[in-house]
Amino acid sequence: MEHIYKKGQAGHPVFVLLHGTGGDEHSLLQVANFMDADATYLAIRGDVKENGMNRYFKRYADGSYDEEDLYMRGDSLMKFIEEMSQTYGFGLEDVVLVGFSNGANIAVNLLLQDDSKINKGILMSPLYSIDTSHLTQSKEKVNVFISMGRHDPICSVEESEHVVSLFEDRGANVEEFWGNSHEVTVEILEAAREWLETLK
Encode pLDDT of 11-40 as tens digits: 999 999 999 999 999 999 999 999 999 999
- First-to-last alpha carbon distance for the chain, in angstroms, is 30
Say yes or no to pLDDT of 166 above 90: yes
What pLDDT was estimated at residue 183? 97
State yes or no: is 131 an active-site residue.
Answer: no
Mean pLDDT across the stretch 163-187?
98
Mean pLDDT across the stretch 169-173?
97
E strands, 21-149, in order: 40-44, 48-50, 53-55, 95-100, 120-124, 143-149
Q: Is 162 helix (H, G, I), strand (E, B) or coil?
A: helix
Residue whose C-alpha is closest to residue 65's, from 103, 105, 108, 32: 105
What pLDDT was estimated at residue 111? 98
> Which entry of 19, 27, 85, 101 is annotated as an active-site residue?
101
CA distance 132 to 29: 31
More confident residue, 30 or 62: 30
Mean pLDDT across the stretch 37-49?
97
| 43, 29 contact by CB (below 8 A) | yes
> Which entry of 27, 85, 160, 182 is annotated as an active-site residue?
182
More confident residue, 119 or 129: 119
What pLDDT was estimated at residue 200? 84
Cα-trace Rg, the chain: 15
The DSSP code sequence of 80-114 is HHHHHHHHHT--GGGEEEEEETHHHHHHHHHHHST
What pLDDT was estimated at residue 141? 97
Say yes or no to pLDDT of 120 above 90: yes
Say yes or no to pLDDT of 5 above 90: yes
State yes or no: is 152 an active-site residue.
Answer: yes
CA distance 156 to 173: 22
Query: Above pLDDT 70, what percent of the chain?
Result: 100
> Which entry of 19, 94, 152, 160 is annotated as an active-site residue?
152
* Bridge-based pairing state of the strands 53-55 and 48-50: antiparallel
State yes or no: is 133 an active-site residue.
Answer: no
Angle between helices 67-88 and 102-112 (to 10 degrees): 80
What pLDDT was estimated at residue 47? 95
- 132-141: per-residue pLDDT in tens? 999 999 999 9
Bridge-partner residues for 95, per DSSP? 14
38-65 per-residue burial string, b: 16 or more CB within 10 A, e: under 16 = ebbbbbbbbebeeeeebbbbbbeeeeeb
